[in-house]
Chains A and B, each alone.
Chain A
Amino acid sequence: MNWLQQWAGYLPQMLSGLGVSLFIAAVAIVAGYPLGLLLSVMVQHRNLVIRTLGLAIVEIGRGAPALVILYLVYYGLPKFGIAFESIQAACIALVWNAAAYSSEIIRAGLQSVARGQTEAAYVLGLSGRDTFFRVIMPQGMRSAIPGLMGVAIQMFQGTSLAYAIAVPELMKSAYNIGSEDFNYLQIFTLAGICYAVISIPATWITVYFEKRMSRHA
Chain B
Amino acid sequence: MAKSTPTEAHRVPRLGIQLENIRKHYGDHVVLDDVSLDVEPGTVTALIGPSGAGKSTFLRCINLLEQPDGGTIRVAGHTIEPGKNIAPKDLARLRSAVGMVFQSFNLFPHMTALKNISFPQQRVLGRSKDEADERAMQLLERVGLKDKAHQHPGRCSGGQQQRIAIARALALDPSIMLFDEPTSALDPEVGLEVLAVMRELAADGMTMVVVTHEMQFARDVSDTLVVMADCKIIEQGDPRAIMSDPQEARTRRFLRAVLER
What is A's interface to B at a CB cutoff of 8 Å? 114, 116-117, 119-120, 122-127, 130, 134-135, 138-139, 142, 216
Contacts and interface: CB of A to CB of B under 8 A. Distances in A.
**B contacts with A: majority SS:** mixed
Given A125-B96, A127-B123, A138-B110, A120 B102 contact: yes
The 6 closest A-B pairs by CB, nearest first: A120-B106, A116-B106, A125-B95, A125-B96, A123-B100, A124-B120
Contact of B92 (A117, A125, A134, A139): A125
Interface string B169-199: 1001000000000000000000000000000
B108 A126 contact: no
Interface in B210-257: none
B106 A126 contact: no
29 contacts: A116-B104, A116-B106, A117-B106, A119-B102, A120-B102, A120-B106, A120-B107, A120-B108, A122-B65, A122-B95, A123-B63, A123-B98, A124-B120, A124-B124, A124-B169, A125-B92, A125-B120, A125-B124, A125-B172, A126-B123, A126-B124, A127-B92, A127-B123, A134-B123, A135-B108, A139-B108, A139-B109, A142-B110, A216-B154
Contacts, number: 51
Interface residues of B, number: 23
* Consensus secondary structure, chain A interface: helix
A216 B102 CA distance: 22
Nearest to A124: B120
A132 to B, nearest CB: 13
B108 A123 contact: no
B123 A119 contact: no
Contacts of B172: 124-125
B166 to A, nearest CB: 12
Given A125-B124, A130-B123, A117 B108 contact: yes
B119 interface: yes
A139 B107 CA distance: 12
Contacts of B106: 114, 116-117, 119-120
B91 to A, nearest CB: 9
B104 A126 contact: no
B163 interface: no
